[in-house]
Amino acid sequence: MLFDPHIHMTSRTTDDYQAMSDAGIRAIVEPAFWLGQPRTHVGSFEDYFLSLLGWERFRASQFGIRHLCTMGLNPKEANNARLADGVMELLKLYVEKDGVVAVGEIGYDDVTPHEEKYFMAQIELAKDAGLPILIHTPHRDKKRGTERTLAVVKESGIAPELVLVDHNNEETIESTLNAGCWAGHSIYPHTKMDEQRMVALVKKYGAERMLVNSAADWGVSDPLKVPKTAKAMLEAGIEQAAVDKICWNNPVAFFAQSGRFDPKEFGVELSVDQRELFQGNSVLRGQTPRTDAK
Ligand SMILES: [Zn+2]
């Protein structure tokens, strides 16, 4: 069983869900993020949050995949002062919803004062809600951005075991692990991290607090990067137990700290009934529904 702990399925198709299910993915976390184009109304955030809790969770379930999400004001849109405070008000309600397992993705993008203000405010929100946080680290000047991120985390007083720092690479992994945080790695098709570099990191740093995700979204990305990386790790001689830890047990353990799901129940296969509807809608277009025998 595989877990993709960072994927934006809102931007993906049912073909992706089918391929992910066929490749062994049984659980995902969809962090709230930006949509490629800035939103202009607070209400657009609310409808997006509702879709993560409703329609997207339903779509995933139709392919046997458990869907959890994180709620947050992403760093890019934290720069829009006109909207940010309204979104923060919404978040107070939405972090309490069923299936929300962290506050995220939060952190820095361009490392602006606004980003910092809402990053710190959302760490406080997570502390109040008793939730872990999922942190996005900047893609430009990653090393400095990550160092600064870790300094803010430390100063906030949130327990490091409640912190997942994402998009790590060779430059940042040691700082993240040394800070006591969990380390996410996004595996991309052409740039940034790839499968072989991930194999090398696991050989060097082991499986403890290590996670792998696809970070697939509306851009060039691959929703099968978790299964592909798991395969590459096995082919490189990394033990099955370590691969299982990185690609299933670690994300389950990290997000179970939210107290919002039972990790034992999580390991049981979902049975699929594609005759089910969500508010009257189905993912089907007239084809024969998949129904798993009970
Ligand atoms: Zn993301």
In the reported structure, the alpha carbon of residue 195 is separated from the centroid of ligand 1 by a whole-number distance in angstroms of 18
Digitized pLDDT (tens) for each residue of the chain, 294 residues in all: 999 999 999 999 999 999 999 999 999 999 999 999 999 999 999 999 999 999 999 999 999 999 999 999 999 999 998 899 999 999 999 999 999 999 999 999 999 999 999 999 999 999 999 999 999 999 888 999 999 999 999 999 999 999 999 999 999 999 999 999 999 999 999 877 899 999 999 999 999 999 999 999 999 999 999 999 999 999 999 999 999 999 999 999 999 999 999 998 888 899 899 989 998 898 888 888 989 875
In the reported structure, the alpha carbon of residue 33 is separated from the centroid of ligand 1 by a whole-number distance in angstroms of 6
Q: Are 71 and 49 in contact (CB under 8 A)?
A: yes
In the reported structure, the alpha carbon of residue 7 is separated from the centroid of ligand 1 by a whole-number distance in angstroms of 6
In the reported structure, the alpha carbon of residue 215 is separated from the centroid of ligand 1 by a whole-number distance in angstroms of 5
In the reported structure, the alpha carbon of residue 291 is separated from the centroid of ligand 1 by a whole-number distance in angstroms of 32
| CA-wise closest residue to 31 among 110, 122, 149 | 122
In the reported structure, the alpha carbon of residue 216 is separated from the centroid of ligand 1 by a whole-number distance in angstroms of 7
Q: Are 23 and 227 in contact (CB under 8 A)?
A: yes
Model pLDDT, residue 97 = 97
In the reported structure, the alpha carbon of residue 40 is separated from the centroid of ligand 1 by a whole-number distance in angstroms of 20
Model pLDDT, residue 186 = 96
Model pLDDT, residue 294 = 59
Q: Which residues contact 21 (CB under 8 A, 6 or more apart)?
A: 63, 64, 65
In the reported structure, the alpha carbon of residue 30 is separated from the centroid of ligand 1 by a whole-number distance in angstroms of 8
In the reported structure, the alpha carbon of residue 75 is separated from the centroid of ligand 1 by a whole-number distance in angstroms of 11
In the reported structure, the alpha carbon of residue 288 is separated from the centroid of ligand 1 by a whole-number distance in angstroms of 34
Protein residues with C-beta less than 5 angstroms from the ion ligand 1: 33
Q: pTM (2 decimals)?
A: 0.96
In the reported structure, the alpha carbon of residue 2 is separated from the centroid of ligand 1 by a whole-number distance in angstroms of 18
In the reported structure, the alpha carbon of residue 161 is separated from the centroid of ligand 1 by a whole-number distance in angstroms of 20
Model pLDDT, residue 284 = 87
* Token pair of 229 as six digits: 């990386």
Within a 10 A sphere around the Cβ of 219, how many other Cβ atoms?
A: 11
Within a 10 A sphere around the Cβ of 125, how many other Cβ atoms?
A: 21
52-70 burial code (b ≥16 CB/10 A, e <16): bbeebbbbbbbbbbbbbbb
Please name the amino acid found at residue 80.
N
Pick left, alpha or beta for residue 278 (phi over 0 → left; psi -120 to 50 → alpha; otherwise beta).
beta
Write the burial class of residue 103 (CB in 10 Å: 0-12 exposed, 13-18 middle, 19+ buried): buried
In the reported structure, the alpha carbon of residue 259 is separated from the centroid of ligand 1 by a whole-number distance in angstroms of 23
